[in-house]
Each structure stands twice: as C-alpha cells, then as structure tokens.
Chains A and B, each alone.
Chain A
Amino acid sequence: EAQVTQNPRYLITVTGKKLTVTCSQNMNHEYMSWYRQDPGLGLRQIYYSMNVEVTDKGDVPEGYKVSRKEKRNFPLILESPSPNQTSLYFCASSFRLGNEKLFFGSGTQLSVL
C-alpha cells in the first residue's frame, strides 16, 4: 500500500532533550516536506527536499534540522526543543510539484514541557 509512515504519533518531551520524528515513503517520491500545524495558522512549511542530499528551508525552519540521505526517508530533528515547538507535525511527499497531490503522514502531536 502506498503510504507515508510517520512516527511517533504522540510525543511528550522536556525542554532541551533532542528528539527525532521519522518519516518514510514507499512511493519513490522525489519531493518530501515537513509542516507544522497550529490552530488559527493552518500549515506552515518547515523544510523540504527535492531529492537525495538536497534540502532547503521553508517558512519556519528555526530550531529544526532535516536530512535526506536516502530517497525514502526524511527525518525531522529537534536538537534542543522548546515549548514554542509544541505543535502537530506532518510529513508529506509527492512525485513532483505542480498540481501533484501531496501524500501525508498521520501526524505527530508533540508537546514540549
């Protein structure tokens, strides 16, 4: 089944404790992206990747890191989480851009205490 697998679904952590949210797609998609969703703000792009070893900043990259060592995986790393990073995070992928449909993971609800 074609899907984007994102883990964990829920995560509670404390300020400063490094964490990684994993994202993997099985559709051989070139484009992958991370978003955060906050009430009243919609989704905002954190980072995106057009292909292996090619990543770039979105609208809200501060405090986040990503890597794209393999085509299928695109982990999101919070080196030193802070409470303002408490949010719902989504990974998404598509084969190309344009009017291509985005495939989303099931989301990670992160709480930073």
Chain B
Amino acid sequence: AQTVTQSQPEMSVQEAETVTLSCTYDTSESDYYLFWYKQPPSRQMILVIRQEAYKQQNATENRFSVNFQKAAKSFSLKISDSQLGDAAMYFCAYRSAEYSNYQLIWGAGTKLIIKP
C-alpha cells in the first residue's frame, strides 16, 4: 500500500524568505500523481501545485515550485518570497494513475508559520 510521510509537523519562516516543506512517499507504481494542498485557518482546502510522475520537469506555480525526485520518492514544496497569507497547513497527497484506484493518500500535514 502507498504511504505519504511529511516529517515536519511545523515549520516557520521569516516573511520574504524561502522555505521548503518535505514530503516522501512509498509506492511500487511507476505512474502516479502528486499534489500539494494548502489549508488556511478558514479550513478551505486549496490546490497549490500538482506533478505527474512521468514528467521530469518540476512543476511551478508563481512563487510555489516542487523538487520532484522520483528515484528518491521525494516531492518537496518550495515557497519563495513567503507572505503572511502563506500561513497554513500544507498537505502532500498521492494518487495512483491506475483508473480503478480511487484513493488519494494524504500526509499528516505541515503547519507553516510566517514571522512578520
């Protein structure tokens, strides 16, 4: 069974600095999708970025980028120029590309604190 591990329960960063949140996963599959979701205090879950395993290029969305290391099964999220609005819980998630597999496997989350 697949698992997703976020080893940092909490991280803090100074406003305008860069922070990296780590995520590792375990799978025997070769094709899958990886996601980072953000959950601010409002509880609303927001998709930050997604990566397809067959794409070697790392995904980027404005200040958010990932470092996808398929062999190492690592999928870290880098937030550049941190802003106060980035304060939230961040969840890493895995989904199989197999059509009959409907599960989204989630990590335990990392709480990101932004210091003004």
Interface-central residue, B42, B99, B108, by most chain A CB under 10 Å: B108
Partner of A90, one of B35, B45, B95: B45
A102 at the A/B interface (Cβ < 8 Å)? yes
B62 at the A/B interface (Cβ < 8 Å)? no
**Bound Cα distance A42, B44 (Å):** 14
B side interface size, CB within 8 A: 25
DSSP majority for the A interface? strand
Interchain pairs with CB closer than 8 A, number: 52
Contact with A along B98-116 (1 / 0, CB 8 A): 0100111011110000000
Residues from chain A with Cβ under 8 Å of B37 in the complex: 102
Residues from chain A with Cβ under 8 Å of B106 in the complex: 42-44
Residues from chain A with Cβ under 8 Å of B4 in the complex: 42
* A102 lies within 8 A of B104 (CB): yes
